[in-house]
């Protein structure tokens, strides 16, 4: 088993050893008792075929997200199936049992947190003790990856950033959650297929007609699917996919704004910059500068 784990003092006993591979972090909760929300642990786990966790309670509040594989969940005396896109939450006094299918082991992400506002935040977004399904699983996965990245970081601002990321995660879950009975509908299956196609082809897609043609559906029907399951238009979804890819490319060494814009189908660099700013709050050049400053600050913290 290969495992990357960064701990403050020790690896807690609730970290499962029934994993093939994991990237996890742990931060001692002792010094942050009075905080509104503070993150204790999180990460990604590739579950072993015989994975099984059964707990009567848990010391912290937790949100878990299934990225791939299948399994079963018993949560507060109810039984659920686990599949990619499933989200569930538990905490003190909430009994739960998680198992994975032998033929398709779970890969899941988790974050454990506490604080005086932790329970209130989960109740306000109707997540605590619930099993949900996200219509935008890539957004949820991005949030978990960001939490893990800052959890492993030793930068001076990581605690505050982690607290904000947990709040953002709960809002994203609430915003993209769909009814469980819709998961098995034919229309949701079509929506998921369209999401996958757009994710794979977003660099070359430019218009609604191109998206609908590539997805083999009528443009009006594509719009209805996105209104029902995605709470946004197909073009808004495409633009977010392009901007997320742009952010990745801009952080590559030697990346040029004009080249990134052209590669994503933008003939007008100013149009690209305006779209990027609407998505991230800052223009591309400022986005790169802020990330470079953060990297320098993190390197300085580690060298002390």
* pLDDT value for 15: 86
Question: Would you say residue 26 has pLDDT above 70?
Answer: yes
- 230-245 b/e (C-beta count within 10 Å ≥ 16 → b): bebebbebbbbbbbbb
Whether pLDDT at 122 is above 90: yes
Residue 8, pLDDT above cutoff 60? no
Model confidence band, residue 60 (pLDDT cutoffs 50, 70, 90): very high
Mean pLDDT, rounded, of the chain = 86
Same domain for 198 and 111: no
Q: What DSSP string describes 45-105?
A: EEE-TT-EEEES--SSEEEEEEEE--EEEEETTEEEEE-TTEEEEE-TT--EEEEE-SSS-
- Cα separation, 28 vs 32, in Å, equals 8
Q: Give me the pLDDT at residue 134, please.
A: 85
Q: How many domains does the chain have?
A: 2
pLDDT tens figures, 229-265: 877 899 988 998 899 889 889 988 888 999 999 999 9
* Residue that finishes a domain, picked among 116, 145, 179: 179
Does residue 195 surpass a pLDDT of 90?
no
Here the tokens at position 166 are 């947990």
Range of the domain at 231: 185-291
Percentage of the chain modeled with pLDDT above 70: 90
Q: What is the Cα–Cα distance from 240 to 132, expressed in whole angstroms? A: 23
- Per-residue pLDDT, 180: 61
pLDDT tens per residue, range 91-120: 999 999 999 998 999 999 999 999 999 999
Q: Considering 179, 200, 229, which residue would you say is the last residue of a domain? A: 179
What is the mean predicted confidence (pLDDT) over 193-214?
90
* CB 138 within 8 Å of CB 109: no
Residue 301 lies in a domain: no
Q: Are residues 272 and 195 in the same domain?
A: yes
d(CA 24, CA 4): 6
| Ranges of H-type helices in the chain | 118-124, 137-152, 158-176, 186-201, 208-215, 219-229, 234-250, 257-263, 269-280, 284-303
Predicted model pTM = 0.67
Tell me, what's the pLDDT at 30? Answer: 72
CA 139 to CA 171: how far, in whole Å? 11
């Amino acid at each position: 088993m290969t495992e990357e784990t960064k701990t403050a003092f020790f690896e807690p006993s609730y970290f499962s050893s029934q994993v093939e591979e994991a990237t996890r972090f742990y931060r001692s909760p002792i010094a942050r008792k009075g905080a509104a929300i503070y993150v204790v642990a999180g990460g990604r786990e590739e579950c072993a075929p015989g994975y099984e966790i059964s707990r009567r309670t848990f010391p912290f509040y937790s949100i878990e997200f299934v990225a791939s594989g299948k399994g079963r969940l018993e949560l507060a005396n109810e039984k659920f199936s686990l599949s990619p896109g499933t989200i569930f939450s538990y905490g003190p006094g909430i009994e739960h049992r998680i198992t994975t299918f032998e033929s398709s082991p779970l890969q899941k992400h988790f974050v454990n947190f506490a604080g005086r506002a932790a329970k209130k935040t989960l109740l306000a977004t109707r997540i605590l003790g619930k099993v949900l399904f996200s219509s935008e699983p890539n957004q949820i996965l991005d949030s978990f990856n960001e939490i893990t990245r800052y959890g492993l970081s030793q930068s001076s601002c990581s605690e505050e950033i982690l607290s904000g990321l947990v709040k953002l995660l709960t809002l994203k879950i609430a915003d993209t959650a769909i009814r469980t009975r819709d998961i098995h509908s034919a229309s949701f299956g079509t929506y998921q297929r369209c999401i996958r196609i757009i994710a794979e082809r977003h660099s070359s897609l430019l218009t609604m007609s191109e998206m609908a043609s590539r997805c083999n559906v009528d443009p009006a029907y594509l719009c209805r699917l996105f209104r029902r399951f995605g709470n946004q238009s197909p073009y808004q979804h495409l633009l977010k996919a392009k901007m997320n890819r742009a952010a990745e490319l801009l952080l590559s060494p030697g990346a040029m704004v004009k080249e990134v814009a052209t590669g994503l189908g933008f003939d007008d660099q100013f149009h690209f910059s305006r779209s990027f700013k609407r998505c991230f709050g800052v223009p591309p050049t400022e986005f790169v500068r802020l990330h470079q400053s953060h990297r320098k600050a993190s390197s300085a913290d580690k060298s002390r």
